[in-house]
Amino acid sequence: MSVKIQNIKGTKDILPKDSQLWLETESIIHNFMSLHGYKLIRTPIFEKTELFNRTIGEDTDIVTKEMYTWTDLDGTSLTLRPELTASVVRSFVQHNLQSKSPLHRLYYIDSSFRRERPQKGRQRQFTQYGIEAIGSAHPEQDAEVILIAYRIYQMLGIKDLEVHINSIGSQQSRETYISSLSKYLAPYKNELSEISQTRLDVNPLRILDSKSEKDKKILEGAPQISDFLTKEDLVTFNSIQSFLNNLGIPFITDNNLVRGLDYYNGMTFEITTKSIGAQSALCGGGRYDKLVEYLGGKPTPAVGFAAGFERLMLILNEHLDETKDVIDIYIISTDEKSTNSSLIIADKIRNTHGIKVVCETLRRSMKSQLREANKLNAQFVIIIGEEEISSGEVIIKNMQDSSQISAPIDNIENYFGVNYEYK
């Protein structure tokens, strides 16, 4: 009995009609990273659960309810990665990369997994690309990271971009701020959303991320992190802003852009667009000077971002003009002998010129094969039949202007180089 099996909710097949745009966009990202001196890093899609529990935070939605976690046969708890920073830093520490160079510019483009409620721009398996610049504590490194994130969108023609930046300062400023924030929120405890009530005791900073309207209202009068930054924090933050101004990157400072984990510090940023509706966050990043140390490495400053690839594809797809897929040559053959010849000819032309050649493998009528060649937007058609085999000559038909020439089968590849303008 046959069974039709569907894909899992929140996952997507990338069908041939979309895969070309995927490949092109991926390739643009790879090139762009390389232009800035960033090198690709690939890590396994699953890790010990402990890695994510420790780095993402035990009280986050990701860790409490969104991870795909299972117990392996030897009893180890394993998890499909919900993001890549933890894995990249784990790998950086494990392979002792810091001993090889004072600065590592790394980038990735890979799948992540979160058991979220699927909707437009939100999937359970999705692709993230991002960078981790590990080694420099200076503001020019922060500016470089924001520049890369921003310019990719700009280069791809994404409109209505907003860059939000903030500084959460040093650990010392953050601690004073947290105690002031807790003091301010304490009298409102019972009015806060359920999750914020728990966070008030565990991690009050994360309340600033709250989506609840009630919480947002209460937060309107809350103390602002900017009032707690030390002189040194402010000098660094001003310096990042001045680099961005000089680079011509518009930005908005946003006091509520805060990352609640201990190893984050200094600059945080997010890039949004109004082009994709509710899930407007394209990318998020910031400085995490304590993470390398937290995962067992020597204290090493770091800054990076993570961006959603599917959200980018959503926008690109919406603005895409119907692009025509084109092949260079379609070879029509009418019997077994000519099919044999068509395979050889196609192989020769592809190897000589690196152009797209497609042969008939369905043994259709001549008329259907011509229709297929038209459908594939073939620039040229070569017809091989019994007669052509015996005369040793074939017809090359130019589908643009309907002109045709005859060419010897034995050295037909020469007709698609110097002698014959095929494009």
Shortest CB 284 distance to ligand AMP, Å? 4
Q: Interface with ligand AMP includes 283 (CB under 6 A)?
A: yes
Tokens 């494009």 — which residue?
A: 423
Q: Interface with ligand AMP includes 123 (CB under 6 A)?
A: yes
Q: Choose, by CB under 6 A, the member of 110, 142, 215, 310 that binds ligand AMP.
A: 310
Pick 281 or 327: Cβ nearer ligand AMP: 281
Tokens 């565990």 — which residue?
A: 202
Pick 119 or 238: Cβ nearer ligand AMP: 119
Q: Choose, by CB under 6 A, the member of 53, 55, 60, 128 that binds ligand AMP.
A: 128
Amino acid letter, 199: R
Pick 269 or 294: Cβ nearer ligand AMP: 269
Q: Interface with ligand AMP includes 353 (CB under 6 A)?
A: no
Which residue in 388, 423, 407, 397 sits closest to 348, CA to CA?
A: 407
Contacts of 423 (CB under 8 A, 6+ apart): 328, 379
Q: Interface with ligand AMP includes 281 (CB under 6 A)?
A: yes
Number of residues that bind ligand AMP (CB under 6 A): 17
Shortest CB 307 distance to ligand AMP, Å? 6
Full strand arrangement of the beta sheet holding 69-71: 46-48, 77-80, 69-71
Pick 268 or 341: Cβ nearer ligand AMP: 268
CB-CB contact of 378 with 369 (8 Å): no
Shortest CB 45 distance to ligand AMP, Å? 15
DSSP state string for 218-274: HHTTS--GGGG--HHHHHHHHHHHHHHHHHT---EE-TT----STT-EEEEEEEEEG
The region of 36-44, 172-180, 288-296, 306-314 touching ligand AMP under the rule CB under 6 A is 306-314
DSSP state string for 130-150: EEEEES--SHHHHHHHHHHHH
Pick 52 or 228: Cβ nearer ligand AMP: 52
Shortest CB 68 distance to ligand AMP, Å? 12
Q: How far apart are CA 423 and CA 418, in angstroms?
A: 11
- Torsion sign across C-alpha atoms 338, 344, 348, 349: positive
Q: By the criterion CB under 6 A, which residues form the site for ligand AMP?
A: 83, 114, 116, 121-123, 126, 128, 281-284, 306-308, 310-311
